[in-house]
Amino acid sequence: MMDLASLRERAIVLMREALELLDEAGEDVAAQHLQWAHDIAARVPPMQPGDEIDFELNPDAV
Our CA dihedral for 47, 49, 50, 55, rounded to 10 degrees, sits at: 30
CA dist 44 and 38 (Å) reads 8
CA dist 26 and 15 (Å) reads 16
For 9-56, what is each residue's pLDDT tens digit?
999 999 999 999 999 999 999 999 999 999 999 998 888 999 887 777
Q: What is the pTM of this model?
A: 0.73
CA dist 25 and 58 (Å) reads 21
Is a pLDDT exceeding 80 seen at residue 1? no
Domain ranges of the chain: 2-40
